[in-house]
Amino acid sequence: MEDILIVACDGVKGLPEAISALWPQTEVQLCVVHLVRASLRYASKKYWPAITKRLKLIYTAPTAEAAEAEFAEFCTEWEDKYPAMIRLWRHSWEQFTPFLAYPPELRKLVYTTNSIESLNARFRQATRHRGHFSNEQAALTVLYLVIKNPLKNRSNITGKVVGWKHALNTLAMHYGDRLDAQH
């Protein structure tokens, strides 16, 4: 792998630094879902609806500047009560904001790691039930079949990205020649 455009990660300590060391141009995007969940760890359940409503205004803001303004209001409202939650967001801000440069339809592709985690869980389930494999090709075949077998309880059982052509055009405009080099 010579270059990676953007990586969504779930907040594992040291991962953003490791990615930046190997691929300096890579934008590291912290999983917004993980950040919100980590925020709620510091708050009483009775405040969760109010907090998540305010956080949504931050991560759906049209620009990074608008997100900063929303975050300032969020701090005013919650910093006295939950300073550790505010510290978490301040510490994560640099890895939280990259996706705000994208249009909304592209943001939903990179703001969370949940789809990757779901696929990894399916891989673990498929391999755990078989015990061991006779060779590497047998293991790869099982993983391939997991990918090709859609989940029936999902709204998008094909796994295809809706609006991919528009997303690809947006990526091409944002990353220019770096995207062309990926072929």
Reported as a single tens digit per residue, the pLDDT across 19-49 is 889 999 888 888 888 899 999 999 999 999 9
Distances (CA, A) of 87 to 45, 48, 105: 19, 17, 29
**152 vs 93, which has greater pLDDT?**
93
**111 vs 98, which has greater pLDDT?**
98
Reported as a single tens digit per residue, the pLDDT across 102-150 is 877 778 777 766 667 777 777 888 888 777 888 889 888 888 887 777 7
Q: How far apart are CA 168 and CA 180, in angstroms?
A: 11
pLDDT tier, 66 (very low <50, low <70, confident <90, very high otherwise): very high
Q: How far apart are CA 145 and CA 139, in angstroms?
A: 10
Domain range summary for the chain, segments of one domain joined by +: 6-110, 114-180
Of 29, 26, 107, residue with least CA distance to 61: 107
